[in-house]
């Protein structure tokens, strides 16, 4: 197997990114797993957290811990200020017009369910169609299936090419007067494919069709400007871009959010309640029933500020270099077949090895302290498309290095020795 060792590889030059300093910001990367230093390549599932995020969460619990919006005492005012400051950080990060358009949710899954349950139920009727693609995560399939089941609408699916890309002509051909909403991923979690979202939104809008974009896998890897994309809804999860778990964002155009019914009823989404009538709160609060994940939102704000401070051009060059290098090196392992080779892709390398189950690949790699993901990645239709039950998936982040890829390849060499 003609794969160079780590000693033979040129060290990564990441332009203006100080990789050593970046890695020191993530305490877990210094962990030892089974006597070896950790190589973490499961970032599409969840990213690790920098110290500034951990500190922000700890500061909330140790210096501000209180409920928000309703209290008049000092701790409540501090917590409310921090929480709403994070909302403004999210607004700036996405380039939304107003914080009214930024709804805090538990994550991308809840955001999509919110739109399907509110906008969807008020808009979709029997005989209508909802359009998605074959690339979607289950979270962007199941809510729409549920809505179709309730309304007797039809779920239409845009097929993907052998490379894992969406054909724009086929996408446009499936848009019709019956299409009531388009729901598409910005980046595929299973393949890393980057969809041409701006063009897809424009095609849908020419026919008056609103578009929801699942941005869970995109925000950490490509620049997102919701005004430039002109999408109607955009969703992402904090934990996939260096923030805490259990918090995410739904961006929605204010004109659409204003006409949508609340997703849940309870505290903070109301202005007044009597036994006869409830008056709902203003945007975005009418969609935030109950005590939110205050610490999570504050931690997300810290994560976005951390991320914004990086040189994004250098970051994208670094990740592109890593993906190219990983693709070349992993492809050289005997029996490897890369799944998903679209010309536009980021951060994800999915592959199979002939005659070896992906779970066995992951188990052997874990013995070498290399963490990857194996399975269908909550994208079973993608696996069906390629006629496979699962893939092994190495996914990249800002703190990964060529040395991490070398460790992955060395581990794959051991996999081939054991099972080949």
Query: Which backbone phi and psi does 29 adopt, to 5 degrees?
Result: -70, -15
Position with higher pLDDT, 12 vs 292:
292
Question: How many CB atoms within 10 Å of residue 384?
Answer: 12
Domain positions in the chain are 6-30+311-419, 53-308
Q: Which CATH number fits domain 6-30+311-419: 3.40.50.300, 3.90.1640.30, 3.90.1150.10, 3.40.50.720?
A: 3.90.1150.10
Give the per-residue pLDDT at 15: 53
Q: Do the domains at 6-30+311-419 and 53-308 have one common CATH topology?
A: no
> Of 45, 332, 378, 388, which residue is the catalytic one?
378
Q: Residue 283 is inside which H or E element, if any?
A: none
Residue matched to tokens 């099972």: 419
C-alpha 193/C-alpha 163 separation (Å) is 9
Query: Cβ neighbours of residue 24 under 8 Å, at least 6 residues apart?
Result: none
- Which two structure tokens, joined as six digits, stand for 185? 């991923």
Counting residues of the chain whose pLDDT is more than 70, the rounded percentage is: 96
Quote the CA–CA distance of 166 and 196 in Å, as a whole number.
Answer: 9
Q: What is the residue whose two structure tokens read 């994940």?
A: 293
Active site residue 378: yes
Q: List Cβ neighbours of 48 (8 Å cut-off, separation of 6 or more).
A: 26, 28, 29, 40, 242, 397, 399
End-to-end Cα spacing for the chain: 13
Backbone angles phi, psi at 374, to 5 degrees: -130, 145
pLDDT tens, position by position, 294-326: 999 999 999 999 999 999 899 999 999 999 999
At 182-213, the pLDDT tens digits run: 999 999 999 999 999 999 999 999 999 999 99
How far is Cα 196 from Cα 187, in angstroms, rounded to an integer?
A: 9
User: Which CATH number is correct for 53-308, 3.20.20.80, 3.10.20.30, 3.40.50.2000, 3.40.640.10?
Assistant: 3.40.640.10
Q: What is the pTM of this model?
A: 0.94
């Amino acid at each position: 197997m003609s794969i160079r060792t780590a000693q033979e590889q040129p060290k990564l030059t990441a332009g203006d990114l100080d990789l050593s300093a970046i890695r020191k910001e993530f305490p877990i990367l210094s962990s030892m797993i089974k006597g070896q230093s950790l190589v973490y390549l499961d970032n599409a599932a969840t990213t690790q957290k920098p110290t500034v995020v951990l500190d922000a969460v700890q500061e909330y619990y140790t210096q501000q811990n209180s409920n928000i919006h309703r209290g008049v005492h000092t701790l409540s005012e501090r917590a409310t200020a921090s929480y709403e400051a994070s909302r403004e950080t999210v607004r700036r990060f996405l380039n939304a017009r107003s914080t009214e358009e930024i709804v805090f949710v538990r994550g991308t899954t809840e955001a999509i369910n919110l739109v399907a349950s509110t906008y969807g139920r008020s808009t979709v009727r029997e005989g209508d169609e909802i359009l998605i693609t074959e690339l979607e995560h289950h979270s962007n399939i199941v809510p729409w299936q549920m809505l179709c089941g309730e309304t007797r609408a039809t779920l239409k699916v845009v097929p993907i090419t052998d490379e894992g890309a969406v054909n724009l002509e086929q996408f446009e051909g499936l848009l019709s007067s019956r299409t009531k909403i388009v729901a598409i991923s910005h980046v595929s979690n299973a393949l890393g494919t980057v969809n041409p979202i701006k063009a897809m939104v424009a095609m849908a809008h020419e026919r008056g069709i609103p578009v929801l974009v699942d941005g869970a896998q995109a925000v950490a890897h490509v620049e997102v400007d919701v005004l430039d994309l002109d999408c109607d809804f955009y969703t992402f999860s904090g934990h996939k871009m260096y923030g805490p778990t259990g918090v995410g964002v739904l961006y929605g155009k204010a004109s659409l959010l204003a006409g949508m019914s609340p997703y849940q009823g309870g505290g903070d989404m109301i202005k007044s309640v009597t036994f006869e009538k409830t008056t709902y709160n203003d945007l975005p609060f009418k969609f935030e029933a109950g005590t939110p994940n205050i610490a999570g939102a504050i931690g997300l704000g810290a994560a976005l500020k951390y991320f914004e401070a990086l040189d994004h051009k250098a970051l994208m060059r670094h990740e592109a270099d890593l993906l190219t290098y990983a693709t070349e090196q992993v492809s050289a392992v005997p029996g490897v077949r890369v799944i998903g080779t679209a010309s536009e892709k980021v951060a994800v390398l999915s592959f199979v090895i002939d005659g070896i189950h992906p779970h066995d690949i992951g188990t052997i790699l874990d013995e070498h302290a290399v963490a990857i993901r194996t399975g269908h990645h909550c994208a079973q239709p993608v696996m069906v498309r390629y006629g496979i039950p699962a893939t092994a998936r190495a996914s990249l982040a800002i703190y990964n290095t060529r040395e991490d890829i070398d460790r992955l390849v060395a581990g794959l060499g051991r996999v081939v020795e054991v099972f080949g």
